Each structure stands twice: as C-alpha cells, then as structure tokens.
Structure 1
Amino acid sequence: MKIQNAFRIGLVGTLGVGLGLLILTSLATLSTIITYIGAALFLALGLDPAMSWLERRGLPRWAAIIIVMTGVGLLVAALVLAVVPIIVDQVSQLVDELPRIVARVNSEDWIEALKEQFPQVPIDEINAQITSGLTDFFTNPDKLSELAGGVLQVAVAIGTGVFAVIIVFILMLYFAASLNTMKRATYQLVPASNRERFADLTEQITQSVGRYVLGQVSLAAVNGILSFIFLSIIRAPFPAVLAFIAFLLSLIPLVGTLTGSIIIVLVSLIPGLGSPLTALVAAIYYLVYMQVEAYVLSPRIMNRAVKVPGAIVVIAALAGGSLLGILGALIAIPVAASILLIIKQVVVPLQNER
C-alpha cells in the first residue's frame, strides 16, 4: 500500500471518529432540550385524538386546538384550586406533627414494643446511632451549612421544574398546531412508491400513542379519585396528599401503582398518624385494586391503544426507565407497540416475498 493511500485512510478514519464523538457530545449536551421536545411531542400526540374528533365534527383545526387547550387548562386549574389548598393544609399539619412524631418514635414504650416484636434486632444500638447522628447534625455548623446548600439546591430544582413545565407547554402548543403539517412534510421525504404505506403506518402509530396517553391518564385519574374516597373513609393520614401521590405515580406504567400503594401503606404505619389496622386495610384495598386495574380497567381503557405482549411491556418499561427516567418509562410502551407494528406490517411481508 502506498504511503499516500495509508495517510488518506488514516485521515478519513480519524475525521470519522471525531465526527462521531462530536455528534455524541452534542446529543449529551442537548439531552435536556431533547427531553423537553420528546415530552411536548408525546403530550401533543395524546391530545390529537380529541382535536381530530372535533375536526371530524366540522370545526377548523385552530378552533379544535383552542377548545381542547382551554378544556385542559380549565381542568388543571380546577384540580389546582381543589387539591392544592388541601395539600398545603395537610402538609403544614404534617410539619406541625413532626416533633410529636419524633417524640413518639423515641419514646420508651415504642422502643420496648419494637424490642418485643424484633428480639434479634439491636434496637438500642440503632436508636443510639440515630440519636447521635441527629445530635451531631444539628450541633455541627458544617452540617447546617450543607443543609442550607441542600435547601438552595431544592429551590433551584423547583425553579428549573417550573421553567421546564412552561417550555414543554409552549412546545406542546406549537406541535399540536402544526402536527398535520409536520406529518405531511415528513411524507414528502419518502419515495412516492412507498409514501402511501408510510403515511398509513405513521397514522396508526400516532393514533396508538395518543390513545395510550389518554388511557394512562384515565387510569391514573381513577386511581387518584378512588384513593381519595377510600383513604377518607378509613381516616388515613393526609388523604388528599396520598391520593395525589397515587395519581402522579400511576402515570408510570407497571410499577407506578405498586410504588404509590407501598408509600401509602408505609405512611399509614407512622406512629401517631396511622395505625397497623389502617395500614392493613389499605394494603388489602390496594391489592384488590391492582387486580381490578390489571384485569378489568386496563383492558377496557387500553384495548384500542396499544397491543403489546406482557413480557415486552415489562422489558420496554425497564429499558425506557433506565435510558430516560420517567419520560422513558412513559413512552417505552407505545414505542414498543410501534416497533411491533412495523415488524408485522413491513418486515414480515418483505421476508415473505423473498
């Protein structure tokens, strides 16, 4: 091989590696923006079925967008006005109760009860270590400064979250208004011979994603409303706060309802707030509810959204959560359904033709 050719190959290879690294670095740097775009597009697709329904009734696209967005805004405002004051009141009650809860936890009666129930566990040593750690924390200026820094970080995180919500909402408006235009522009990039098939697959995928979003929100709303009613009946501690947690976590497929149920049961066990009987009743209720959700509610609500085998649902949710966190877990199932649809309607027919 000539030296000039070797030099040329090495130069081209080095440039290729450098370009690849530049692309990966750019994607890592823009990961937050990409997440905002993905969340906004996902929400826009979730609202598109309602807009399309209004369009089929004769309304123009802009009027459908205004009606749907106004409805969503009124729903969110009503939820905020109805739930937030209750949550703020109950959180303030929880803060007021914390000293008494700590006092009950450190009481001799509670410690003796733990010793009787768990004789193999060194309760005295654990209590001494916790007490020593708390004393050192509150008497050490360095620890207090770390706490102040942590509070500042929490405030910054809250501000960043509010900014992210505003950005996602604005992007969602743009995507909802131009979704059909974006799809038509994408169709033009496909060869004319395959354009009709590509458009049909795209419409099926977007409809599945939209129905999935509406279905998941509906399941979460059912869980939140029933949780509030049930927790109020059994007089669980802070029912509005716990019901709101159940609603938020139920937006996460598979593990969301289970995680929210565990949190509610554990909160019901806190001395002075709940009782073992309340926690037991809550645990039984959520075990029954999860069966009803899995075999009655979910099939009825999600039967037209996505059709994915159970094993693939679990794998997709775990993979999506590992890659993109909560957003990844949310979009993993419709993405898996889209891949299965492409395999079924594109890959398999091509293999059968060979």
Structure 2
Amino acid sequence: MSDDRDSTTLPESHGDAPSTARRDRARPDQFVEVTVSTRALVKVVGVVLATLGLLWAADAARDLVSMLIISTFFALALVPGVNYLQHRYEWRRGAAVGVIYVAGLVAMVLLILVLIPAIAEFAQRIGESGEEWIEELDTRLEDTIGIDLISEEDAESAAGDASSGLDEWSEDVVGGVLSIASSGVGLLFQLATIAMFTFYFAADFPKLLRSFLSWFSPDMQQRLGWTIDEAVRQTGGYFYSRLLLMVINGLGFFAVLVAVGMSVALAIPLSLFGGFVSVFIPAIGTYIGGAVPIVITLADRGLTAALIVLAYVVLYQQIENYWLSPRLSAKTMTLNGGLAFGAAIGGGALFGPMGAFMALPVAALITSFIKNYRKANEVVYRSIYDTDEPAADAGGQAGPAADGAT
C-alpha cells in the first residue's frame, strides 16, 4: 500500500511545482534592489562639476586657447626647419628659431614695401585706363560670342569704383601698419603672445615631447609619439611645400607677364595674387588664381598676350601636378581634392581665414590616423561599376598599428 501511495503522490508534487513557480514570477511586489553608495554619488557630482568648470574656463579663456592652438600649429610647422638648421650647422634650437623669425620678418617688410606701392600704382592705372579696358573687353566678347555685357556708363562707374577701392585699401593697410604701435595694443599683444608661445614650443619641442610622453605607458608612448611625429611631418611638409610652390608659380607669373609687355606695377600684384591663391586655396583657387591675371592681361595687352598667359597657366599646372607636387608634397601630405576643399570651407566658416589655412594639414593628419589605426580587411566584393584595378595594399600607410604596436 505504501508503494501505491507513493506512486500517486509523486505526480501531484511534480505537477504543482511549475504552477507555484509561475505564481512566484507573477507577484507584482518583486523588484530588483539597487544600492547607490554616497561615495559613487559624490564622484558623479564631482565629475559633472569639474566638466562644467572646465567648459566655463575654456569659454572665458577662448582667446588664450585660440592663440595656443595657432602657436602650436606654427611651432609644428617650424620644427622641421629648426631641426635642419640644428643638424646642418650645429646651432642651438633657440638660435635656429631666431634666424627663422628674422628671415620671416625681413620677407614681410620687403613684401609690404614692394606690394603697397605696386597696388597704389595699379589703382592709378585702373583709374586712368580702367574704362578703356572694360570697353575693349566688352567689345571683344561681343565680337566673339555676340553678347554686350556692360554699357559705357557702367564701365566708367566700375572703373572708378575699382580705383577708389584699391586706393582706400592701400591707404588702410599703410595706416594700419603705422598705427599698430600706438592704437593696436590688443593686436600687438596677441601677435607677441603667439610669437612667444611659438618660439617656446619650437625651441623646446624635444623636452616638451619627452615630458608629455613620460605620463604614459611604453605601448601608449609608441602610439602617441608616432601621432606627434606625423603631425609635425604633415604640418611642416604642407607649409614648406606650399610656400615653395607659391614662390615658383609667382616667379613664373611675373616672368610671363613682363614678357608680354605688362608693366612691373601690374605684374607684381598679379603674380602674388596668382601664386598665393592657386596654391593655398584648394581646387577652385587654381582657376581663380589664373583667371584674374588672364582677364587683366586681355584688357591691358590684348588677346595674344592673354592667350600666352593662359598657355603658361595650363603648362604650369601640368608641371606642378605631375612633377613638382609629387616631389614636394606627395610624401608629406596626401589628401583627396574634395576632402581638401571641404576642409578649407569648413575651417574658414568656423575660424575664419586662419581656420581655412590650418584646415588642410589637420584634415590630412586625421586621414592619416584613420588609415593607420583602423583595421583593414580584404575587399572580396567587386562592383559591376568598378573599372579600376584593385589596390595592391589596402592597409594605407605604415604606422604603429601596422607595425604591431598595441
């Protein structure tokens, strides 16, 4: 009998267990208890307050932060030149930075002394012959494409406005340069601060780098050290290569303009404009820097001279793209043309002309980081629209990640 009772009660006990568990899970008064310690709460509040304090301090000292960023950029651009002078002539780093400062100051003074009188004479020439230039250009366009773009009255008004505008601009520049010492105390202080920080960063760069890296582990030092070296290479290479290309293009412009009969007073500002704009403004700067000298030459010297200048622009761009630029900048800054244009526009919109100038090396540096720190996978899919040959190496440039550093 005991066996029968056991056999009857065993299924009942097994059948009741699931229903009991379901009732336990269905109770509304069951919840997870979370305990927050006072210490953790104090830490969270402290981090939030510290973050807000840092943001407030950064906003209050935004002028100083901007000057530090600009100084860092110029210091990184000077470091390759300082290293060259130090190793080539065994100079001290401070003396090398001082020589670069003096050379830059002399070049700026000479540029002002040459450019301001040239612009003043250019304005006078426009006032005297501007109306005739515009009418001749309008006649050539009407004879060529059959469109009359401007009337005689509008031509006279445009020439007068251009002449007076250039006169006022040159007078403002001269007056601004002469009044900096007396009235531009704030600007003078900012320039002196940027120059001081730049001198200090460039002269003591090795010491500052070692001090900064000493805060991190050896593996992290490898990554950060490569990052900083790459920043110096990108920034310095961009600055020196662009500057050299501007000088080459400006001298070529000047020689061609003088050869076609343009006066030196017109050739100097047009050469500086064409050299600077075509080199330091990506993509569209090439066309603007060539179009303005061509149009002025067409108005002043005629169609044949303008065609000669056009031929120079086309020929020089081929030489720069296929010979000069690969040797001067391909090993220092590789950046897609569309990305370069977008970076310049974005930098200019956020930080003005200085932001547009600094945006290209920054964008190249970020692109280099992405190429070297990302994990590159083999592309196994081939699009039906892909007509290019597959790249031999999809891993980008060699960096610490590619070398196995972690």
**Larger relative contact order (C-alpha < 8 A, sep ≥ 6)?**
1
In structure 2, the CA distance between the partners of 1:156 and 1:127, relative to structure 1 (3 Å rule), is same
Shift of the 263–131 alpha-carbon distance from structure 1 to 2, 3 Å rule, reads closer
Aligned mate of 1:101, from 129, 132, 138? 129
Tell me, yes or no, if structure 1 residue 43 matches structure 2 residue 74.
Answer: yes
2:253, 2:271 within 8 Å by CA — same for their partners in 1? yes
- Cα 1:282–1:55, aligned 2, differ >3 Å: closer, same or farther? same
Residue 239 in structure 1 maps to residue 267 in structure 2: yes
Match of 2:305 in 1: 278
Question: What residue number does 1:183 align with?
Answer: 209
CA distance in 2, matches of 1:254, 1:262: 14
Distance change >3 Å, CA 323–CA 75, structure 1 → 2: closer
Larger mean CA deviation between 36-45 and 159-168 belongs to: 159-168
Contact 1:43–1:213 (Cα < 8 Å) also in 2: no
Residue 221 in structure 1 maps to residue 247 in structure 2: yes
| 8 Å contact from structure 2 (residues 93, 204) kept in 1 | no
Identity %: 20
Q: Deviations over 1:78-104 (max 9, x none)?
A: 5744x5444344333223334322553
CA distance in 1, matches of 2:138, 2:104: 47
Decide whether aligned partners of structure 1 residues 56 and 117 sit closer, same or farther in structure 2, where only a CA change above 3 A counts.
Answer: closer
**Partners of 1:341 and 1:241 in 2: CA distance:** 36
1:195/1:64 Cα in 2 relative to 1: closer, same or farther (>3 Å)? closer
Contact 1:253 1:330 survives alignment (8 Å): no
Of residues 337, 341, 345, the one that matches 1:318 is 345
Q: Equivalent residues in 2 for 1:1-354 (5 A)?
A: 23=55, 33-56=64-87, 59=90, 63-74=92-103, 76-77=105-106, 80-81=109-110, 83-104=111-132, 121=148, 123-124=150-151, 127=153, 159=180, 163=188, 165-237=191-263, 238-249=266-277, 250-270=279-299, 273-348=300-375
Q: Post-superposition shift, 1:29? A: 6.8
Shift of 1:301: 0.5
Superimposed CA distance per residue, residues 233-276 of structure 1 (whole angstroms, 9 cap, x where no aligned partner): 12224111222223432334444443322222232244xx3433
The 1-side partners of 2:173 and 2:101 are apart by 31
Contact 2:141–2:147 (Cα < 8 Å) also in 1: no
Q: Secondary structure at the match of 1:319?
A: helix
Deviation readout 1:203-245 (Å, 9 max, x if unpaired):
2332232222211111111112222222221222411122222
Q: Distance in 2 between matches of 1:262 and 1:338?
A: 31
1:144 is aligned to: none
Task: Pick which of 234-243 and 308-317 moved more.
Answer: 308-317
1:193 and 1:314 mapped to 2: Cα distance? 36
C-alpha displacement at 1:297, in angstroms? 0.7
String of CA shifts for 1:304-344, please: whole Å, max 9, x gaps.
21233444334333333333333333333322232233223
CA offset at residue 298 of structure 1? Answer: 0.6
Kindly indicate whether the alpha-carbon contact (under 8 Å) linking 2:344 and 2:357 is maintained by their aligned counterparts in 1: yes
Of 153-162 and 89-98, deviating more is 153-162
Q: Which moved more, 1:68-77 or 1:281-290?
A: 68-77
Quote the Cα distance in structure 1 between the aligned partners of 2:335 and 2:134.
50
When residues 119 and 345 of structure 1 are mapped into structure 2, their CA distance, relative to the original with a 3 A threshold, is closer
Post-superposition, which runs of at least 4 consecutive aligned residues in structure 1 deviate over 6 A? 19-22, 109-115, 151-154
Whether the aligned pair in 1 keeps the contact of 2:298 and 2:306 (CA below 8 Å) is: yes
Which ranges of structure 2 fall in alignment gaps of 5 or more residues?
1-40, 376-400
TM-score, normalised with respect to structure 1 = 0.70
Counterpart Cα distance in 2 of 1:290 and 1:301 = 14
Contact 2:282 2:337 in 1 (8 A): no
The letter of the residue matching 2:353 is I
| Structure 1 partner of 2:397 | none
* Structure with greater helix share of residues: 1
Distance 1:335 1:72 in 2: 24
* Pair 275,213 (structure 1): closer, same or farther in 2 beyond 3 Å: same
Quote the Cα distance in structure 2 between the aligned partners of 1:155 and 1:278: 36
- Aligned partner of residue 304 in structure 1, secondary structure: coil
Q: Do the aligned partners of residues 131 and 279 (structure 1) sit closer, same or farther apart at CA in structure 2, a change above 3 Å counting?
A: same
Aligned partners of 1:291 and 1:189: how far apart in 2?
48
**2:350 partner amino acid:** L
Q: 1:274 & 1:28 partners in 2: Cα distance?
A: 54
Structure-1 separation of matches of 2:139 and 2:366: 58
- Deviation, 1:33, is 4.6
Counterpart of 1:5? none
Contact 2:283 2:337 survives alignment (8 Å): no
Contact 1:252 1:326 in 2 (8 A): no
Q: Secondary structure at the match of 1:290?
A: helix
CA RMSD, 1 decimal = 4.5
For the residue of structure 1 that corresponds to 2:204, the secondary structure is helix
Alpha-carbon spacing, 1:205–1:118, altered in 2? closer, same or farther (3 Å): closer
